[in-house]
Structure 1
């Protein structure tokens, strides 16, 4: 007799769960918070479900999922397959100039050691070199290229913690619900990379400890790290330090950016000295000259010399070519929450139409004050962002109002996209795939907006954003930020006097804590939610989830009592358990 394989055994259990539920695939998917297509693939063996999906299915029919854990583990091991090729790398610079020795060295060290740390001062071109090399080596890494900004020196934002960074990297590889422990995530990350040949760019690390858990282990994947600090304590990761561009390369880059013949040798030398050989400053100075066809290099050198400070003079000169509206948008971008943005976000910030702000952004890109790493996505170099923020503090009295407009914009967009994601009894409004992609793209910005809302006391946004991210959190991010956001959101709802919203947030908080293994804290959240007078639908969900936690804590009598209450309430509102 043939012994069923791991996947076949799991399929049999999942099929039995479906039979016990008495539901169609579509209805069962809706009640468990899964998509119909995913559930179909789980039931037919095309895809091994994440453990959280197995738990969700078991809870629909009131079964204890723990006996299925070994079955699921065996199926996962047997059915694991590398994720499709993914490429998150920013676009390579069209005018990348010089760095031939450094590029060759980085490529050689990557082949030998599998990891390289590029260090150097701000504006020297660390990210540009890493991305340039990554694009050159892309054919050697058929499983794709991953890019993650660790925000080590981004003005107005905290560095991305290793645990959160691992969560995002694992998510990029298709691991929807990584374990909560940082060490377990690091081990899973190394395991996932060992089955692939991928190139990872970890940009903007603070120090060695910031990036150490993110390094790959054995295997054929490789990693490029950039930092302003020399990461000498990373064993097995050779450092490559970048200095300013040598005069010949600096002149070539300046000439390409300016689009002119550099015949004025003395004036060119003055500009190069003023820019310090830094690619960022050279591109901006060249763009300034390109936009002033009546100027000579000597005129540019004189204007730069008349301003104090190497960077302020270059940045200030670039601003002078802009009109008042363009300068205002530039200043406001310095206070925009998040790392990157699109035109609608900038439009909300500046209180402009998307068409008008798109035109402004194009001018800022041409002036090298804003980057466009991919079509329709914009960002600012950290140095320029800090300069813009300083200008906003001095010259933009409406900066706070602009930030509040952006917070409202992201809340509205998150709520609209959340309505397109299937969960619960209501059908989705819109395209679920597009909605999920929007959350994937904007996740870091949504968290940054939430933190800004808490800091500014904008309780409407602080209470609303985590609710709008509820389905997406359940499917993709586990408990990384969810617990922290829900705790603060529940407090914000309390300050607003919204008892129903606070209770709903506390129920979600209990679920997030339970998923993280913090059962006592989950029960505390549920008990606090139970103090509020809520509708039958929320009360039913609360009773059901409290029963699950009581059962997992070993209090079976209390669990059964909660299950009976939940069943009564669900029957009263005409729903099956787990549908809310």
Structure 2
């Protein structure tokens, strides 16, 4: 730290560590317990909180001049600073702008910004503090980002033709980071384009020896293909001037844009086999669809890595942004410009007509075998113009919707994982330590079979080695805080579900009402009752919820609301008073149960007993054995509805009384017979969630309801 050109003394090592921890989250309140974890890890001293207060007091004396920078804000401390006051913030700003300029094809501007960003580094990040625990991991991540930025900077210099000047710096970088294959490939390419192909091939032998000696592995596919291209004197390796823009240097190098492969992908062998079969049978497009958090992106990237050797002309990757909350999906013309820049070597693309840009893309991909991964697509309209012609290339699309209007497409449904696979994934991510199997089974059950949720709880468990599986189960078991517990760093189930809800139009109101009413299952009649509209409106809303995989179909006319979706929907503002929808849904249950009661007792009547479900379904329900499974499946819904009705008071309590009345024919000992005595296929009264005693529901226990 400097003030008026003079270095300031920042105190002891722990005091400096506290400052680093606050700087890494500048502008945000950092809780005291988080600061304790960052400074001492899993075994802090008993005086840790008092020490934090002492360090903060001393730092405040150093930092606060004319402006207060370090403030006490419950539940911790807030460090405020202008973006130009912190080199870390300046570096991040320059780095973001540089990478955007490079992606947009403005290579010279990107190179200048990369140089500015890297000039702010003087040694390692916070190199004068001891690196240990979570704080050390965050600083290691900063150093890793710096190396990645160095690679991007070298990429921009090679695109600009600065091959000879880059060679000495690349030599130094490969010595400092001998396991970074991208730096080695850049050094090989720089030597080749500088007129020394033999030196470039010698670099390959050098990196091969390094990897074999240090890791016992051979060079990766990218280095191997680059060596093969050099041996074949592939003209695509040369830097060329295009006739379209003589002042622009473009390079036709095979793109390698795939994100890193996932370290653990379990339970997806069937889906991978379908993708492999589609590629083997020359299917040009494979579309993966499934609910939020189910791992479609990881599966697509893993499949692309597996198939990369079959597509030697490169791999392209584009995140279409449909699953980013509070942001608009990327427009097709922006994606087309980006693809055209990549395939033409980085030159500017000024096309504004999507049709013309799509035609140019088909021209550039003609005769090439590429993999194009289009991740997080919104709908068919966003991707239709991005597909290359029938050239032997493969396109892998991920979307929450099934893109049924695309043709020809091999559709792959990616569903939640079985509990055993989720347990294996958790164990793979957290390490070899054995876990208590019953508690682990309960933990993964609360994750709804979503790999994203499993990865979040695994990351939380790995970050706190002393934390037991039981404590994680207790956090997730409370429905009021489950979504808060399923959040770690940038991973969040709530954010993932919010992106799906953002895409809703017709189904938005129904989802909010399902959340407000806490319904676990829904079928068309309940949807109609909740909406208070027509059967067409109910079906249209259900279709959209099903399309975005926010509900699951469990029969011809029955849908399940997954627990995590239900909890997120309950957090949404319904935008209306739910008394009327609750009254209509309760009335529907009264009428349906009254119809079943008449079928059981042989009675006929009107009023509330008027059948809402229709004569055909009422006849089908005449058999008690068929009605009992339906009744058991509706108990969770009725329990939630009865609780809300009781809290709301009259006139809803009148609906509850009527509901209890129509349930009486189903109550009683199984051995009895006769009108009103009960049916052997139905549970006894004591087994039903009736409002006649203690009413137990997670989050609402031990509440008395009147008879």
- What TM-score does the superposition give when structure 1 sets the normalisation length? 0.42
Q: Larger relative CO (CA 8 A, sep 6+): 1 or 2?
A: 1
Higher Rg of the two aligned structures: 2
> Which is helix-richer, 1 or 2?
1
